[in-house]
Homo-oligomer: A and B are copies of this chain.
Amino acid sequence: MKVAEMIRTTPARVDLDHDLLARVVEAAATCSQVCTACADACLSEDGVADLRRCIRIDLDCADVCATTVRVLSRHTAYEAAITRAVLQACVTACLTCAAECEQHAGMHEHCRVCAEACRACEELCRELLTTIA
């Protein structure tokens, strides 16, 4: 992705740590794609009936992460209240999705990859949250 390049070239003042911001946006974009693909992979499993909750949480997490990418790509982030609320929703969605996928990670490799993507996104969102007043 080219997130860092876009932060560097905006005329707006970006008060957040540029490197951390870029890593959060990339992690959220990755997580949104992985969750969409994991829901689809779960849907193809023989045991789809046992993966209903996993599919729903995957879809929720994909949507929340996509919105996180959008809001953080409007780099200015002087709307601290919105940025914070969206990051908090992203932390909640990612940790719920990670916990669910981890239960299937032994059987389904796509759930293992998805859990890892969710944990990575959750941690980076938490780190960014600590820097927003």
Contact = CB atoms under 8 A, between A and B. Distances in A.
Contacts of A82: 57, 60-61, 64, 89, 92-93, 96
Interface residues of A, number: 66
Interface string A76-92: 10110110111011011
A101 interface: no
Given A56-B76, A66-B67, A67-B66, A6 B33 contact: yes
How many chain copies does the complex carry? Answer: 4
Contacts of A44: 10-12, 52, 76
Contact of A70 (B36, B38, B69, B89): B36
Contacts of A86: 60, 64, 89, 93
A110 interface: yes
Interface of A: 1-3, 5-7, 9-12, 25-26, 29-30, 32-34, 36-38, 40-41, 43-46, 48-49, 52-53, 55-57, 59-64, 66-67, 69-71, 73-76, 78-79, 81-82, 84-86, 88-89, 91-93, 96, 108-110, 113, 117
